[in-house]
Amino acid sequence: MYKFSVFLVVLLIVGCQTITATSPPLVKGPIDCPAGRQLVANVWSYQLLPYVIQEKVVELMKIAKGRNTRNATDPAGYREDAVSRTLGPRLRSEVRIRAPVSLSVQIFYRDLQTAKVVEDLGVLKLTYGAGSVMLPDDPRKWIVEAVWPDNFMSPIKSGGEHRLWLFGYEWKHWCVMNVHGIVP
């Protein structure tokens, strides 16, 4: 019995040292992005999209027009079935060619609870239908709002502007997020 007890104590000590030495530290929260988080904007020409994608754009725009954003104050009005969220990955992988436009998109942080603008981040400049900006702070704490020029089909108008809201939870573990707009 004595040998068994000694063996058990030695095994316990060695086991604890091994676990302590090799176990990674507990990480609280999501994966960090050492270079920061980046917002990428893409513009697509409706006329250049394949017919099946054009049909889907029209269908999603009808759904969006039926929602009430309460003059851009209700986050529930900016649902997951937006053109950007639903078709963005497909546009980037299948269509790939951006609209030949150069423009600016205004970027804001909005409060997650009140939806009020808390910070004007300035403009994201696009050249040949694409552009990006590094976002300050941690965008997962905010709603990132992209306000597109007036000639866009999508996002549709809400509160007098073509707005797209990107919610904090949508970042998940990604360091780069894409938003998409459609011109005629």
Question: Which CATH number do you get for residue 53?
Answer: 2.60.40
Segment 22-37, tens digit of pLDDT: 333 333 444 689 999 9
Q: Is residue 147 part of a domain?
A: yes
According to the model, what pLDDT value does residue 66 have?
72
Q: Is residue 53 part of a domain?
A: yes
Q: How many domains are contained in the chain? A: 1
Q: Is residue 6 part of a domain?
A: no
> Which residue segment(s) compose the domain that 170 sits in?
36-183
Q: Is residue 13 part of a domain?
A: no
Asked if 177 and 171 touch (Cβ cutoff 8 Å), the reply is yes
Q: Is residue 91 part of a domain?
A: yes
Asked if 76 and 64 touch (Cβ cutoff 8 Å), the reply is no
Segment 68-114, tens digit of pLDDT: 666 666 676 666 667 888 899 999 999 989 999 999 999 999 999 99
* Cα R_g (the chain), whole angstroms: 24
According to the model, what pLDDT value does residue 3 have?
56
**SS3 state at 10:** helix
Q: Is residue 71 part of a domain?
A: yes
